[in-house]
Structure 1
Amino acid sequence: MSILAINGLSLRIGQTEILQDVNLSMQHGEIVAITGESGSGKSMTALSVMGLLPRGAVAGGQILLDGVDILQTAEPDLCQMRGNAMGMVFQEPMTALNPVQTIGAQVAETILIHEKTTKAEAHQRAAAMLERVGLKVAPTRYPHELSGGQRQRVVIAMAIALRPKLLIADEPTTALDVTTQARILDLLQDLVREFDMGLLLITHDLAVVADVADHIVVMQKGRVVEAAPTAELLTNMQHPYTRALFAASGHAVQLPERGGVGQLLSVRNVVRDYPARRKALFGPRPMVRALDDVSFQMDHGERVGLVGESGCGKSTVTRAILGLEEVQGGEIRLDGEPVFTHHRPNLAVRRRMQVVFQDPYSSFNPRHRVDRLITEPFHLLDDPPQGNARAAAIAKALGDVGLSPGDAGKYIHEFSGGQRQRIAIARALIIEPELIIFDEAVSALDVSVRAQVLDLIADLCRKRPLAYLFISHDLSVVRTVTDRVMVMQAGKIVEQGETEKVFTTPQHPYTQTLIAAAPKLPELSHAVETV
């Protein structure tokens, strides 16, 4: 008997059809991946299996977990099943964890809720489970003291503490760097084999899907458009949407010839230290070196990538370049002007740089309309445009990113994720900066939207001599949108050079490890290329 069988699942919220006739089955020890664009119904399918549908949702069909119909099960019984028979790993571990409880207490809580055992025994089992998922820190630590990959291991430990029959992982590696992602995926595969449970993997990362899944289910607009064993689907895609998804995942951007000449940014021998936790109550406070003698330069019109694991110093060097943090040693100059002067940020320099963040929604004030949001950089100018000049600047910025002037009067919640990122790019462009920093700007987007945004960046480079620093953990993206790449490890630049040369013949062992850890799409049939 199948561990999970979804038969004719439909879901409606109000008058909106969310899911239509969804069918899926999986066996013990099997990994089934559901993939598709944002809004395709992947996460709602997972929430339906967990019995966590929003209020007002009307579901039909069957969801059989080991023979028990989830849709016909009362809430008290579902509460007993969650954590016991089925567990879930969410995309963002920090929001799934309680910030005021230790990680050991949070794993033990799952055991105490479902089993009659002592608190001491539950904490002992929790410590053993944390060790099983490869977390080599004390159970007395709090979530904010851990890295992203470590937090994800805590969430996995909570989900499997009672060895459930089914584990659902909803985008478990989206925000992680390539080496941490590889470790988490290896861990999930090991747990499936060890506990003989089923793993339902929700992801838009098709390279991950191709690498770990036994069976792939492709969803579009609430329907399953194609489902097959992984090897069969990759060699013989039947549905045009499936072929389009894989074509977008392997999309290569055509960058124009580089414009501009001369040096733009100079980072020389930069050092940045942070105070660490005291080891004794009255002992000295040790220092942690985040940037260790970092030096590099960028020319006008040059497109440079910066890659490395979480905690390597990418964000610290970004804040230093933008003049948001002063460094203890070295110097940062833009067009020969220092970013900091007499321990104060040089605002005349800062106005010539802009940044595009990873999550555009959280970087905007939802109460303001688009015209106000994208003109925020005007406050950096001595004489910002007014009246017709301001309206013309707004229309030009929106037009440059493929939006219409009419979008200026809308609110940010009225746009999709890809459109919000276009608005974020328009905000960065509106004062014509000399340097833009893209900080994980496409990592949260699905493959088709990501391809559109990357094409937009290439198109902007054709219109102006745009220089940018592209920070990402997605090596396939960095490879296609940069002229040169720098690899960072433990606060140091360990390798830099022409992008294709570094990816083809990496010299440093760490670079070789990063490239080897990155999931790769298999060679696909020519049918994909024609989409």
Structure 2
Amino acid sequence: MNAPVRFQSLTVSGLEIRAGNTTIVRDVAFTLSHGRPVTLLGASGSGKSLVAHAIMGSLPSGLSARGIVKLDDDDLLAGSPTQTRARWGRTIAILPQEPWLALDPTMRIEGQVGEIHRYLHGLGPAEAGKSMRDDLAEVGLGDRTKAYPHELSGGMCQRVAIAATHAAGASLLIADEPTKGLDAALRDGVVDRLREEVDQGRLLLTITHDIEVAAALGGMIGVMLDGSLVEFGPADEVLDNPQHEYARALIAANPTRWPALALPTAGEPIVSATGLSKRFGERVLFDGFDIAVRRGEIVAIVGPSGCGKTTIGNILLGLVRPDSGEVQRSPGIAATRFQKLYQDPPAAFAPHQTLRQSFGDLLRLHCLAWAQAEASMRRFGLGQELLDRRPGEVSGGELQRFAILRALLLDPVFLFADEATSRLDPVTQKEVFAILIEAVRERGLGLLMVTHEAALAEKIASRILKLPA
């Protein structure tokens, strides 16, 4: 394998992104150099990921970029589409925000990582296989090489995407929300891997909502708001002494700084299960597990990635059958009032249908008024213009807010939130949980949440159930 070319710097100046005649990102400027990664923080929809895709040359249809984006002397915005695609994997690699969309559902993960070594780097089958196994072992999946993406948790799929991006060996690595859905140990492992990429001479641009990740990566931090870079400077200065009002609010909204929540006394169980057991192949996820979620309470399940947290919630909803055990729900309640918020929001929306069509179908089916949806959109900070976009044309955070809005429109009595705010910045996460907590208090909603954030669970959960690895 030939050693990849190493570039010295990425320079962004006067970057502007337009949707038709509307400017949605304006005057973004920063320099990324060896040993000094850049991390962009900010609200969902603030333009962070669009900046990354403008650099990559992979903006969604209908969007255009202008300004200066140079990798050394190579003008990334000046090339033809063919020249842009020729850089992908070889010069620039992106770790996308949604592993659900990044992985081929019909191919085992060994093939998806191994083909990069074979066809991008030209290795023979044996050498490519060894490199593939090394890559997957380094992200903790050395024993799952034969698995398909649907057999893995969301966090595991993210680690596969990380292994594939590392295998590409490009000079510039763009990591878009690389640690979402990962427990603290795996998150720290990913950060260590990204730091290794920097130490090996790669340029690193990271998009994240996780303030702890930004602090651990060091280098430079930029804070984006409404398409503008409102603060930029050394990581310790921005985190310890933010100057812009939004930057201060963002850092203050970290769950570690939330006040503890007091909920009223919970009512009768809305759903419960006893003696649950589940295995996949030879692997036992849990055995003899009991759980009950009552009206007006928040139950959190925490544990490492792949330990069975999501499977428990799916069993309570009837989406997965346990190998043994019994599930009971309160009688006389419509199935539509038992709802789920998916960890990967694209899994919950038809990809080729606009959000207006999706919500229109829902409202007609359940005889609900558009006024209800519009009022909820305002409350969730979602503009009307987003309705005419497809799911892949809005940010992951915006799509997750649409998913939460849609679930609450159906007046659920039980809501299974599977890492429901992992794509949201701390400010938006705090606002969304305020709405969910209000539903718990006022409607008697029973909320079961799966999270890797121990601090979040400790602040808002009535009870915490811990699953072992």
Aligned ranges 1:91-110 → 2 under 5 Å = 91-110=97-116
Q: Is the 8 A contact 2:16 2:25 kept in 1?
A: yes
Q: Distance in 1 between matches of 2:297 and 2:232?
A: 43
After superposition, give the CA deviation of every residue in 1:64-86 in whole Å (9 maximum; x if it has no partner).
21332212334444444332232
1:375/1:192 CA distance change after superposition, 3 Å:
same
How many residue pairs are counted as aligned between the two chains?
448
One of 207, 229, 235 as aligned partner of 1:224 = 229
- Cα displacement (A) at 1:129: 4.5
- Cα displacement (A) at 1:292: 0.2
Q: Is the 8 A contact 2:43 2:225 kept in 1?
A: yes
- Cα displacement (A) at 1:158: 3.3
1:363/1:87 CA distance change after superposition, 3 Å:
closer
After superposition, give the CA deviation of every residue in 1:140-177 in whole Å (9 maximum; x if it has no partner).
65544555444434433433335332211111121333
Letter in 1 for 2:462: D
Give the corresponding residue for 2:3.
none
Q: Distance in 2 between matches of 1:26 and 1:170?
A: 16
Percentage identity across aligned positions?
32
Letter in 2 for 1:248: A
Give the corresponding residue for 1:301.
296
Give the corresponding residue for 2:426.
447
Q: Distance in 2 between matches of 1:39 and 1:138?
A: 35
Question: Runs of 5+ in structure 2 lacking a partner?
Answer: 1-6
Q: Secondary structure at the match of 1:12?
A: strand
Aligned ranges 1:35-434 → 2 under 5 Å = 35-55=41-61, 57-111=63-117, 113=119, 118=124, 121-131=127-137, 135-137=141-143, 142-161=148-167, 163-193=169-199, 195-250=200-255, 252=258, 255-261=261-267, 265-274=271-280, 276=281, 288-334=283-329, 348=332, 351=335, 354-358=338-342, 362-363=347-348, 370=359, 373=362, 416-417=398-399, 420-429=402-411, 433=413
Q: Which moved more, 1:315-324 or 1:362-371?
A: 362-371
Q: Secondary structure at the match of 1:310?
A: coil
Q: Is the 8 A contact 1:31 1:199 kept in 2?
A: yes
After superposition, give the CA deviation of every residue in 1:39-63 in whole Å (9 maximum; x if it has no partner).
2221121122222234554433221
Q: Is the 8 A contact 2:8 2:33 kept in 1?
A: yes
After superposition, give the CA deviation of every residue in 1:436-465 in whole Å (9 maximum; x if it has no partner).
333332223232222111111222344244
Q: Distance in 2 between matches of 1:99 and 1:400?
A: 34
Give the corresponding residue for 1:18.
24
- Cα displacement (A) at 1:116: 5.9
After superposition, give the CA deviation of every residue in 1:369-393 in whole Å (9 maximum; x if it has no partner).
64762686x7xxxxxxxxxxx669x
Q: Distance in 2 between matches of 1:133 and 1:263?
A: 39
Q: Is the 8 A contact 1:360 1:424 kept in 2?
A: no
Q: Secondary structure at the match of 1:192?
A: helix
Aligned ranges 1:496-511 → 2 under 5 Å = none
After superposition, give the CA deviation of every residue in 1:380-420 in whole Å (9 maximum; x if it has no partner).
xxxxxxxxxx669x97898799769xx99x96969954652
- Cα displacement (A) at 1:209: 1.3
Q: Secondary structure at the match of 2:305?
A: coil
Give the corresponding residue for 1:525.
none
Q: Is the 8 A contact 1:400 1:426 kept in 2?
A: no
Aligned ranges 1:447-526 → 2 under 5 Å = 447-489=426-468
Q: Taking structure 1 as the reference length, what is the TM-score of the superposition?
A: 0.72
1:321/1:100 CA distance change after superposition, 3 Å:
closer
1:191/1:441 CA distance change after superposition, 3 Å:
same
Q: Is the 8 A contact 2:28 2:228 kept in 1?
A: yes
- Cα displacement (A) at 1:36: 1.0
1:391/1:41 CA distance change after superposition, 3 Å:
closer
Q: Distance in 2 between matches of 1:47 and 1:61?
A: 14
Q: Distance in 1 between matches of 2:175 and 2:13?
A: 21
1:112/1:236 CA distance change after superposition, 3 Å:
same
After superposition, give the CA deviation of every residue in 1:236-293 in whole Å (9 maximum; x if it has no partner).
211112112222334626645414455555432223345x2xxxxxxxxxx5433300
Q: Is the 8 A contact 2:400 2:420 kept in 1?
A: no
Q: Secondary structure at the match of 1:20?
A: strand
- Cα displacement (A) at 1:138: 7.4
The root-mean-square deviation of aligned C-alpha atoms, in Å, is 3.7
Q: Distance in 1 between matches of 2:284 and 2:145?
A: 26
Q: Secondary structure at the match of 2:296?
A: coil
Q: Distance in 2 between matches of 1:68 and 1:445?
A: 34
Q: Is the 8 A contact 1:398 1:423 kept in 2?
A: no
Question: Runs of 5+ in structure 1 lacking a partner?
Answer: 277-286, 336-346, 379-389, 491-531
Q: Distance in 2 between matches of 1:222 and 1:186?
A: 30
Q: Is the 8 A contact 1:356 1:441 kept in 2?
A: no
Q: Secondary structure at the match of 1:199?
A: strand
Higher-Rg structure is: 1
Q: Distance in 1 between matches of 2:242 and 2:171?
A: 31
1:437/1:253 CA distance change after superposition, 3 Å:
farther
1:333/1:352 CA distance change after superposition, 3 Å:
farther
Q: Secondary structure at the match of 1:258?
A: coil
Letter in 1 for 2:142: K
Q: Taking structure 2 as the reference length, what is the TM-score of the superposition?
A: 0.81
Q: Secondary structure at the match of 2:409?
A: helix
Q: Is the 8 A contact 2:348 2:403 kept in 1?
A: no
Letter in 1 for 2:247: T
Q: Which moved more, 1:256-265 or 1:92-101?
A: 256-265
Ranked by relative contact order (alpha carbons within 8 Å, sequence separation 6 or more), the top structure is 2
After superposition, give the CA deviation of every residue in 1:181-224 in whole Å (9 maximum; x if it has no partner).
2222222222322x121211111222221222321011122221
Letter in 1 for 2:245: P
Q: Distance in 1 between matches of 2:107 and 2:250?
A: 41
Q: Secondary structure at the match of 2:104?
A: coil
Q: Secondary structure at the match of 2:332?
A: helix
1:438/1:54 CA distance change after superposition, 3 Å:
closer
1:371/1:117 CA distance change after superposition, 3 Å:
closer
Q: Secondary structure at the match of 1:224?
A: strand
Q: Secondary structure at the match of 2:253?
A: helix
1:298/1:227 CA distance change after superposition, 3 Å:
same
